[in-house]
């Protein structure tokens, strides 16, 4: 076994005093090759840290590929719960020979590198503490079954890092048990390598870096979950009865989540029959078509997709808006245009979705910014869609949807289901008349009846063509105008049902306000701390829905300068705000960055600082 300590011999020993240690605050990047089982190893590290009470989140930067291309998995531990991507890496694990040179180049002096010693790390970056890992030797000694060997090499770094940082091996064991759902054989095999690697590190490496893990209680009661699973659970607790979908990264795991939990949660206790249908459609057009058909017939219907699917759904989205059919569409955004970067995150669909459909179309949008909201909007979207009788788009993204985030456990829906203005046969008997698109209440929301309602007054003819109050075909200009005006009135009413923005501000407003939404929130959260440290206090507003509510206008009016932070090229949310509040347009400054990699707090802080100096 090769036991030399590469890259540390020339430096003086740097074993730290406790006051020089950096506890529970670092970013680990693991550079591996996709399809090699690195997910098991990374999850084991992540879960162990989380269960030791260390606030963590993770990001997987993966290729659009099945096997053999580079993947970087980041774990950020942060006692202050700063969960944006970190610009600097403190601990790098080099397992991929093809990328190690560029991976190494990102390290700053003082950071740490664990590397598989079968490839040469030369020259060492100055000041970087390098630990070799005899990956092949350790795996050989542990001698797992040959066919599994390639999948288990990654457990070596788990063992070495656990030893060097002070992660309890018992927590790694528990994490593996969770990962393999209690199946002892893979747990034992993987743990065998972890133990071997930890032992090797104990005997052969001397700690020279400051990074340590110590048990804490900052994750007590919390959960670690991804946004797509959260959304799937939300939908199921929202009474989902029909889902149609077509496979697409990064949205597929939302449908997977629905399929995983339905058998357990949504079977009729008497007959054991399913109370929700899920259909994998032949394309996204069919997926939304089925969901609209189901929504029209009275189901709580949804579909989940990403940008290319949204493009295909445009015509049907306009139909559902105009025929006033409730349906929920999850758009887990990825980088476009076109196929773009299918495994990279973006907030590029905001404008497109807002006006999805030709002609005069306005769509209602919800914008979750964390796991709890992915769950909450998962159920609330149905209430809003049925209340307003319109499509509700929930815009998540790859960063929220596919990465694991720390969260408070989800709150059970605190309101009964709102099925909206639906008239039964008994209602029709009592009322004695019915016109599908009549604005009886003056709020723009008409009453509807569901197909199968057995009353001669109930039937109506849903259509994408011009129609009068009774849903009959009409080309009359006045009828058309009246109907569109009612739809616009309905969109005004919609504001009442939108989740309010989240505000952070003192009693008197600062000069600078920052507006953010969705997955870019952690970067802004961190940036505000950095800016405050630099002497620039800021106020904060997070938009959670479109159409906008009054709080947003007030916030804009009471600040001198507003920065709208987002991940798209042209500041799409800023444009929507400028359209809504044209007299405030010049105050709204756009800070955008859109390269597929999520924003960092430092980038946001620097961008605000630079803009303030101009």
Contacts of range 272-280, beta carbons closer than 8 Å, 24 or more positions apart:
275/241, 276/236, 276/240, 276/241, 276/242, 276/243, 277/241, 277/242, 277/243, 278/242, 278/243, 278/244, 278/245, 279/242, 279/243, 279/244, 279/245, 280/244, 280/245, 280/246, 280/247, 280/255
CB of 161 to other proteins, least distance (A): 22
Count the residues of the shown chain that bind other proteins, applying the rule CB under 8 A: 74
Q: Which is nearer to other proteins, 436 or 528 (CB)?
A: 436
Asked if 566 and 516 touch (Cβ cutoff 8 Å), the reply is yes
Please identify which residue in 341, 450, 479, 536 interacts with other proteins, judged by CB under 8 A: 450
Compose the 592-611 pattern: x for residues touching other proteins by CB under 8 A, - for all others: --------------------
Please identify which residue in 31, 77, 193, 319 interacts with other proteins, judged by CB under 8 A: 319
Residue 76 phi/psi, 5-degree rounding, is: -110, 120
Please identify which residue in 25, 87, 141, 315 interacts with other proteins, judged by CB under 8 A: 315
Could you say whether residue 248 binds other proteins (CB under 8 A)?
no
d(CA 478, CA 529): 55
Q: Which is nearer to other proteins, 106 or 223 (CB)?
A: 223
Could you say whether residue 18 binds other proteins (CB under 8 A)?
no
Angle value at C-alpha 450, between 444 and 453, nearest 5 degrees: 130
- List the interface residues with other proteins, window 22-81 (CB under 8 A): 51
Region binding other proteins by CB under 8 A among candidate stretches 158-166, 261-269, 332-340, 564-572: 261-269
Region binding other proteins by CB under 8 A among candidate stretches 3-11, 136-144, 276-284, 336-344: 276-284
Non-local CB neighbours of 94 within 8 Å, separated by 6+ positions: 31, 100, 103, 104, 113, 114, 115, 116, 121
Please identify which residue in 12, 123, 145, 221 interacts with other proteins, judged by CB under 8 A: 221
Q: Which is nearer to other proteins, 47 or 82 (CB)?
A: 47
Non-local CB neighbours of 302 within 8 Å, separated by 6+ positions: 235, 240, 242, 243, 291, 327, 328, 329, 330, 381, 382
Helix (H, G, I), strand (E, B) or coil at 25: coil
Q: Which is nearer to other proteins, 51 or 542 (CB)?
A: 51
Could you say whether residue 283 binds other proteins (CB under 8 A)?
yes
Could you say whether residue 236 binds other proteins (CB under 8 A)?
yes
Q: Could you please report the per-residue DSSP string of 102-135? A: HHHHTPPTT-EEEEETTS---SPPTT-EEEEE-H
CB of 412 to other proteins, least distance (A): 5
Region binding other proteins by CB under 8 A among candidate stretches 111-119, 146-154, 197-205, 236-244: 236-244
Could you say whether residue 322 binds other proteins (CB under 8 A)?
no
Could you say whether residue 218 binds other proteins (CB under 8 A)?
no
d(CA 75, CA 77): 6
Query: In whole angstroms, what separates CA 281 from the centre of its chain?
Result: 24
For tokens 């590469």, what's the residue?
A: 6
d(CA 234, CA 308): 24
- List the interface residues with other proteins, window 380-419 (CB under 8 A): 409-410, 412-413, 416-417
Using DSSP bridges, classify how beta strands 70-77 and 56-61 pair: parallel, antiparallel or unpaired: antiparallel
Compose the 190-209 pattern: x for residues touching other proteins by CB under 8 A, - for all others: --------------------
Could you say whether residue 182 binds other proteins (CB under 8 A)?
no
Q: Which is nearer to other proteins, 289 or 369 (CB)?
A: 289
Could you say whether residue 257 binds other proteins (CB under 8 A)?
no
Could you say whether residue 307 binds other proteins (CB under 8 A)?
no
Asked if 488 and 481 touch (Cβ cutoff 8 Å), the reply is no
Region binding other proteins by CB under 8 A among candidate stretches 13-21, 140-148, 390-398, 459-467: 459-467
Could you say whether residue 308 binds other proteins (CB under 8 A)?
no
Region binding other proteins by CB under 8 A among candidate stretches 285-293, 507-515, 533-541, 576-584: 285-293
Compose the 345-364 pattern: x for residues touching other proteins by CB under 8 A, - for all others: --------------------
CB of 304 to other proteins, least distance (A): 15
Please identify which residue in 295, 518, 571, 601 interacts with other proteins, judged by CB under 8 A: 295
Could you say whether residue 585 binds other proteins (CB under 8 A)?
no
> What is the Cα gyration radius of the chain?
27
Please give the DSSP secondary-structure letter assigned to residue 13. Answer: P
CB of 22 to other proteins, least distance (A): 26
Q: Give me 432's structure tokens.
A: 């004695």
Region binding other proteins by CB under 8 A among candidate stretches 67-75, 78-86, 458-466, 534-542: 458-466
Strand order in the sheet with 502-504: 502-504, 539-542, 512-516, 561-566, 588-592
Could you say whether residue 581 binds other proteins (CB under 8 A)?
no
For tokens 């980038």, what's the residue?
A: 603
Q: Which is nearer to other proteins, 375 or 603 (CB)?
A: 375
Non-local CB neighbours of 478 within 8 Å, separated by 6+ positions: none
Helix 371-388 / helix 227-237 crossing angle, nearest 10 deg: 40
Please identify which residue in 227, 293, 309, 501 interacts with other proteins, judged by CB under 8 A: 293
Could you say whether residue 244 binds other proteins (CB under 8 A)?
yes
Could you say whether residue 289 binds other proteins (CB under 8 A)?
yes
d(CA 417, CA 424): 17
Could you say whether residue 310 binds other proteins (CB under 8 A)?
no
Could you say whether residue 273 binds other proteins (CB under 8 A)?
yes
Please identify which residue in 301, 335, 353, 423 interacts with other proteins, judged by CB under 8 A: 301
Give the residue from 30, 31, 75, 72 showing the smallest Cα distance to 55: 75
Please identify which residue in 30, 61, 142, 292 interacts with other proteins, judged by CB under 8 A: 292
CB of 70 to other proteins, least distance (A): 29
Dihedral sign computed on CA atoms, order 433, 437, 443, 448: positive
CB of 158 to other proteins, least distance (A): 20
Asked if 107 and 128 touch (Cβ cutoff 8 Å), the reply is yes
Secondary structure of 284-316 in HEC code, one letter for each residue: HHHHHHHHHHHHHCCCCEEEEECHHHHHHHHHH
Please identify which residue in 56, 233, 350, 392 interacts with other proteins, judged by CB under 8 A: 233
Burial of 120 (0-12, 13-18, 19+ CB in 10 A): exposed
Helix (H, G, I), strand (E, B) or coil at 273: coil
CB of 422 to other proteins, least distance (A): 10
Q: Which is nearer to other proteins, 467 or 559 (CB)?
A: 467
Q: Which is nearer to other proteins, 223 or 503 (CB)?
A: 223
């Amino acid at each position: 076994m090769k036991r030399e300590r590469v890259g540390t011999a020339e430096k003086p020993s740097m074993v730290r005093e406790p006051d020089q240690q950096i506890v529970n605050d670092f970013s680990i990047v693991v550079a591996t090759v996709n399809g090699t089982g690195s997910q098991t190893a990374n999850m084991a590290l992540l879960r162990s840290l989380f269960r030791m009470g260390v606030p963590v989140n993770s990001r997987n930067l993966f290729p659009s590929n099945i096997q053999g291309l580079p993947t970087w998995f980041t774990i950020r531990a942060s006692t202050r719960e700063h969960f944006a991507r970190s610009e600097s890496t403190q601990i790098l694990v080099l397992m991929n020979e093809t990328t190690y040179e560029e991976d190494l180049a990102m390290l700053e002096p003082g950071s740490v590198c664990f590397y598989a010693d079968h490839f040469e790390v030369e020259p060492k970056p100055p000041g970087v503490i390098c630990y070799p890992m005899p990956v092949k030797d350790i795996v050989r000694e542990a001698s797992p079954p040959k066919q599994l060997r390639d999948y288990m090499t990654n457990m070596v770094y788990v063992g070495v890092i656990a030893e060097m940082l002070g992660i309890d091996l018992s927590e790694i064991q528990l994490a593996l048990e969770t990962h393999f759902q209690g199946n002892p054989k893979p747990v034992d095999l993987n743990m065998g390598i972890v133990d071997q690697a930890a032992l090797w590190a104990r005997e052969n490496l001397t700690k020279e870096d400051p990074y340590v893990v110590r048990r804490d209680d900052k994750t007590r009661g919390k959960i670690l979950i991804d946004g797509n699973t959260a959304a799937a659970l939300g939908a199921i607790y929202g009474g989902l009865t029909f889902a149609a979908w077509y496979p697409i990264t990064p949205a597929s795991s939302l449908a997977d989540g629905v399929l995983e939990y339905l058998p357990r949660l949504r079977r009729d206790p008497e007959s054991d029959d399913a109370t929700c249908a899920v259909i994998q459609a032949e394309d996204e057009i069919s997926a939304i078509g089925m969901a609209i058909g189901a929504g029209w017939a009275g189901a709580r219907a949804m579909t989940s997709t990403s940008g290319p699917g949204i493009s295909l759904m445009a015509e049907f989205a306009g139909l559902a808006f105009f025929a006033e059919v409730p349906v929920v569409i999850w758009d887990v955004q990825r980088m476009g245009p076109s196929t773009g970067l299918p495994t990279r995150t973006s907030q590029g669909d905001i404008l497109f979705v807002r006006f999805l459909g030709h002609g005069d179309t306005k769509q209602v949008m919800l914008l979750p910014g964390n796991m709890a909201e992915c769950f909450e909007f998962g159920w609330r979207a149905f209430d809003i869609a049925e209340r307003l009788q319109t499509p509700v788009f929930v815009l998540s993204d790859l960063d929220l949807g596919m990465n694991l985030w720390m969260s408070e456990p989800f709150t059970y829906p605190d309101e009964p289901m709102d099925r909206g203005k639906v008239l039964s046969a008994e209602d029709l008997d009592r009322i004695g008349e019915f016109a599908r698109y009549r604005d009886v209440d003056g709020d723009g929301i008409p009453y509807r009846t569901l197909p199968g309602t057995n009353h001669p007054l109930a039937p109506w003819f849903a259509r994408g063509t011009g129609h009068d109050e009774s849903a009959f075909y009409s080309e009359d200009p006045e009828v058309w105008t009246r109907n569109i005006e009612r739809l616009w009135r309905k969109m005004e009413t919609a504001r009442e049902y939108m989740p309010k923005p989240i505000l952070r501000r003192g009693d008197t407003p600062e000069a600078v306000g920052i507006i953010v939404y969705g997955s870019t929130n952690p970067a802004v959260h961190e940036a505000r701390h950095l800016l405050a440290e630099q002497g620039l206090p800021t106020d904060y507003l997070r938009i959670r829905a479109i159409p906008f509510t009054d709080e947003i206008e007030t916030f804009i009016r009471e600040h001198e300068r507003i920065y709208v932070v987002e991940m798209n090229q042209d500041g799409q949310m800023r444009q929507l705000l400028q359209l809504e509040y044209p007299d405030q347009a010049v105050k709204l400054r756009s800070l955008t960055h859109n390269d597929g990699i999520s924003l960092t707090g430092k980038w946001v802080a620097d961008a605000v600082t630079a803009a303030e100096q101009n």
